[in-house]
Structure 1
Amino acid sequence: MKSLRAQLLLRSVLIVMLLLLFIGVLQYLLMGQFLYHRTALTIQSEILGIPDSTWTENVLNPQPQSDAEDHHDSPFESAFGPLQDKANSIAFIDTSMQFHSIQVDASLGASPKLAKQVYQQLLAQGKAGNQYQLMANHQGQMQLVVLQTVGDHDSIHGIVEVATSTTNLQEELVRELLIFVGLTVFALLLAMAVFWPIISRTLIPLSRLVEMTSKINAGNLDARFSPKGAQTEIRQLADSFNAMLDRLDTSFQAERIANAKMRQFVADASHELRTPLTSIHGFLEVLLRGASQNPEQLARSLKSMHSESNRMGKLVNDLIFLARMDQVPQLLVKKADIAEVIHEMEPQLRLLAKDRTVVFQLSPQLFADVDIDKIKQVILNLFHNAVSHTDALLGEIKVFAYQEQRSIYFGVQDNGEGIESSLIPNIFERFYRVDSSRSHKIGGAGLGLAITKSIVDLHHATIECVSEKGAGAMFQVILPTHY
């Protein structure tokens, strides 16, 4: 059976059946012992109820019978009372081990002669000597043999041996067994009738869980199982299942967001690549119409195409870099002084700033485990971003680096146009530009800060922006030190 309800019912009934079977076997054995012991006690009581003189007068010293008594079948016809009224074979063993057969039952035969050691042990016990045992006669019929010593206060006369059939006892045992079997069948049927609704009610929470899981698919992960009123195991299963659904829902949402970002990324990349290609295509058309014959127009067209090709080359390189960072990014980490790394870049940064004012505030001995080339790229990207958003003559740019506790802070601050606070959460997204038209004029594709964020994340660091519209901007990296 594959049904859990049916399996639980079957196993419960099987346990009850095995328990009843054990009880039945135990009861059969104990009942048999009880019946044999009770019968033996009854026969021993009947033997002890016969006067002692009966054994001496009728067995040990029998009197000759008169002619008037010849018609009697036995000289002891009424001497032994109830013992002779039953289907018993009776014998007497005197102290000299002489075996006297008193009565022989036709179906049982004569009472069996036991080993002398048995009789001797009983005689040694005195008047307290008694025992019984089961044994088969010469026909294979089981009989109960009861032994009891008899005598007066002064001496023991002998042993009375009574053999009786166990047929009646076996029949009584069979009747008891049949009654028990009937009660067992009734108990099993009652157990099935009682267990089925109990098991069904117990499995209701599990059934609800199964029904709920059948309704869940990739597009419907909002359903949750309420473990209220359920058993501990079902509650634990429900909690684990709900936690799994939460993880799946989070994963699917993350996948949907990633797919949306990927589609947006592809669209933005296509747009950014199409713009320089369109410009180059336009200049080529102008040249094909005859502008190539005009040296001034030819020079201007070639210069523009060169600029657009450089822009397209930088965009492709940035895209390749981001693709590598997304797949298997690798860092060549070694201990370095961040202040020294920035100091080495000072000539390049001042050249990039042109007429802008550049200030370096660098604390010494800022050691951390970093990839030096990628940290330089972070500084260069942040500095280039500051140059792009400050005035060519009035612009002021500060490059700083210092340490607080176990973190190194470094970055770039400018006095440019600043960023609205509502836009700051988006500035590290790929192809995001605060001012799209201005970014095109300065050649930006919106990938610099995205690349910077990827590098910072690889170093298990964080980057933050503090800015207000018209009040400049500060980008700083918080890098944990590793010693």
Structure 2
Amino acid sequence: MTVILLFIGIFQYVFMREFLFQNKAETMQSQLRSVSRDVLPNIVGGVDGEPSGVPQGGSQRGGQGGSQAGPQGGPDGAGPGRKPMFVFPDMAFAVIDNAGTFTNMSDWPGAGTPPQLAPEQYEAAKSKRMDANAEVNYTIARDAEGDEQLVVLQPIDMRGRLFGVAQLSMKTSLIMDVAVSQLIAFVSLSLLALLLGLLAFVPVLRRTLVPLSKIVRTVERIDAGNLDERFPAKQGQLELDRLAMSFNGMLERLEASFEAEKEAKEQMRRFVADASHELRTPLTSIHGFLEVLLRGAANQPDQLHRALNSMYGESERINKLVRDLLLLAKLDQAPAFERKEGELDVLLQEMEPQLRLLAGGRDVAFRLAPEARCMYDADKMKQVVLNLFHNAVQHTDPESGRIEISVGIVPDGVELTVKDNGPGIPEEHLPRVFDRFYRSESSRTRKSGGAGLGLSITRSIVDLHGGTIRAESRAGEGAAFHVTLPAPRTAAVSADG
């Protein structure tokens, strides 16, 4: 702001200087024009010592010629042998005849000595005829004392005859006093305006800069291990409030990303540890049986048969674990598969003989709503049903166990429910039942050959269908798994989105 005001002051000073010079030059030119047209030729003639032949007023009066300021005397008091004097306040007046003789015609106190210009400038002035509407030209020159003066020239002519040039000059210091006074006034008012503006805007600046400083200090304190700090949502200004909210949102996203990364690393750690453990157990068992056989048990048919059966079972367990791990890795890559519109109740009717065979002595009940249409891949959905049914079989008694499979139409699509009367799942374990390698009863699951991957695979398949899966259970009251698949129209909209 100070630089702008300084620039405006300098521009105003330069512009005012030119304006004052031009305005004063026009005034001086007007003063020269106000002199009677027959006076200046008589002055030049008197100075030269030759009668001009032009009487006062342009007419002959008793053979005596004269003018208001002529050599013959006149109202100015000049007589023969005395140069006429003109009254131009604060100005110096001079005439230059055709021979180039320069004559000072005034002695105004303080006006200084008229400066003498180059002969070329006088010749140029003679060649110009002054037009009342033309712009007045002026020259800046220095006099004998070194003072700068504003000089205006006017040719002296009458009836087509050129007698010389009249020169009127004035010290520029007298003119510049006005410009300097105005510049001082402008600078004073500008400084006063800056002071008032500073006093008025200091509170505003304080209200703006203090919250910004707090935000900067808060940002400097935040690092990867300290993402829970937040900015105050109310800073007193709309822009700062929006900035604080944007920073808080960014921090929340960063915190969520770091938490997700930590959780992913932790899951990977658990995954590697559980996979190693699951593989180590059957491999250790196989290795133990081989050692027994090598020590001579191979020669005993009963021990050989039991060892081979055990090793076969452990190899099957390893084979199933590897298949499940490969399937999970494939599902994590969100593979594309073809979903077709179909009736889920029809699919379950086709699977009923297989499910009853897997149930053994357990009671199996089907409650299927007709025309339960949804979008699904038949092979993948069969795997979902088998996983849920196998989980129910594992957790129910072989003789008194009861498993109920139902299909119903819900507002969002079709819901598949697999319910059993087993021991149930403790409430604290429900949020993690779909985690990989998670088992609420590890000994029982491992004894039945499970590795805790079935429900994880089931959730991945349901997610790829655009559906949801949830578990409901209370300890001692069995468990129920609900799978919701979108209706055909909902699935189409979801796929387009």
**TM-score per shorter chain, which class?**
0.7 to 0.9
Question: Post-superposition shift, 1:469?
Answer: 2.3
Decide whether aligned partners of structure 1 residues 26 and 343 sit closer, same or farther in structure 2, where only a CA change above 3 A counts: farther
5+ residue gaps, structure 2:
37-42, 44-53, 60-64, 97-101, 107-113, 144-148, 156-164, 490-497
Deviations 1:236-280 (A, max 9, x none): 444323322221111111111221222122222222222212222
Amino acid at match of 1:461: G
CA distance in 2, matches of 1:205, 1:355: 73
Aligned positions of 1:128-139 closer than 5 A: 133-135=136-138
Q: 1:18 is matched with which residue: 7, 11, 23?
A: 7
Decide whether aligned partners of structure 1 residues 255 and 179 sit closer, same or farther in structure 2, where only a CA change above 3 A counts: same
SS in 1 for 2:458: helix
* 1:60 counterpart residue number: 58
* 2:49 counterpart residue number: none
SS in 2 for 1:292: helix
Q: 2:225 is matched with which residue: 209, 219, 223?
A: 219
Tell me, yes or no, if structure 1 residue 314 matches structure 2 residue 320: yes
Aligned positions of 1:189-268 closer than 5 A: 203-226=209-232, 229=235, 233-268=239-274
Question: Post-superposition shift, 1:70?
Answer: 5.5
Higher mean displacement: 335-344 or 382-391: 335-344
CA distance in 2, matches of 1:447, 1:103: 120
Amino acid at match of 1:87: A
Tell me, yes or no, if structure 1 residue 363 matches structure 2 residue 369: yes
Question: Post-superposition shift, 1:304?
Answer: 1.3
Deviations 1:437-460 (A, max 9, x none): 221222222111111111112222
Tell me, yes or no, if structure 1 residue 165 matches structure 2 residue 165: no
* 1:154 counterpart residue number: none
The TM-score with structure 2 as length reference comes to 0.72
Decide whether aligned partners of structure 1 residues 229 and 390 sit closer, same or farther in structure 2, where only a CA change above 3 A counts: closer
Decide whether aligned partners of structure 1 residues 83 and 182 sit closer, same or farther in structure 2, where only a CA change above 3 A counts: closer
Deviations 1:390-415 (A, max 9, x none): 22122222222121234110121222
CA distance in 2, matches of 1:29, 1:330: 83
CA distance in 1, matches of 2:7, 2:88: 43
The TM-score with structure 1 as length reference comes to 0.74
Q: 2:453 is matched with which residue: 447, 451, 471?
A: 447
CA distance in 2, matches of 1:390, 1:139: 121
Q: 1:338 is matched with which residue: 344, 366, 385?
A: 344
* 1:152 counterpart residue number: none
Decide whether aligned partners of structure 1 residues 144 and 170 sit closer, same or farther in structure 2, where only a CA change above 3 A counts: farther
Higher mean displacement: 22-31 or 403-412: 22-31
Question: Post-superposition shift, 1:45?
Answer: 11
CA contact (8 A) 2:423 2:477 kept: yes
Amino acid at match of 1:374: K
Question: Post-superposition shift, 1:423?
Answer: 2.5
CA distance in 2, matches of 1:293, 1:359: 50
Question: Post-superposition shift, 1:371?
Answer: 2.3
Question: Post-superposition shift, 1:380?
Answer: 0.5
Deviations 1:272-318 (A, max 9, x none): 22221222222222222322222112111111111111112111211
Decide whether aligned partners of structure 1 residues 293 and 366 sit closer, same or farther in structure 2, where only a CA change above 3 A counts: same
Question: Post-superposition shift, 1:104?
Answer: 5.5
Deviations 1:359-402 (A, max 9, x none): 22222323322222211111000011111112212222222212
CA contact (8 A) 2:345 2:372 kept: yes
CA contact (8 A) 1:89 1:162 kept: yes
CA contact (8 A) 1:226 1:238 kept: yes
Q: 1:73 is matched with which residue: 66, 78, 82?
A: 82
Amino acid at match of 1:26: F
Decide whether aligned partners of structure 1 residues 69 and 104 sit closer, same or farther in structure 2, where only a CA change above 3 A counts: closer
CA contact (8 A) 1:221 1:249 kept: yes
* 1:151 counterpart residue number: none
5+ residue gaps, structure 1:
1-11, 49-54, 92-100, 123-129, 148-160
Amino acid at match of 2:14: V
CA contact (8 A) 1:414 1:473 kept: yes
Question: Post-superposition shift, 1:22?
Answer: 3.2
Percent identity, please. 40
Decide whether aligned partners of structure 1 residues 235 and 26 sit closer, same or farther in structure 2, where only a CA change above 3 A counts: farther
Q: 2:288 is matched with which residue: 282, 290, 294?
A: 282
Tell me, yes or no, if structure 1 residue 429 matches structure 2 residue 435: yes
* 1:472 counterpart residue number: 478
CA distance in 2, matches of 1:20, 1:14: 10
Question: Post-superposition shift, 1:234?
Answer: 4.7
Q: CA RMSD in A?
A: 4.4
Question: Post-superposition shift, 1:146?
Answer: 7.8
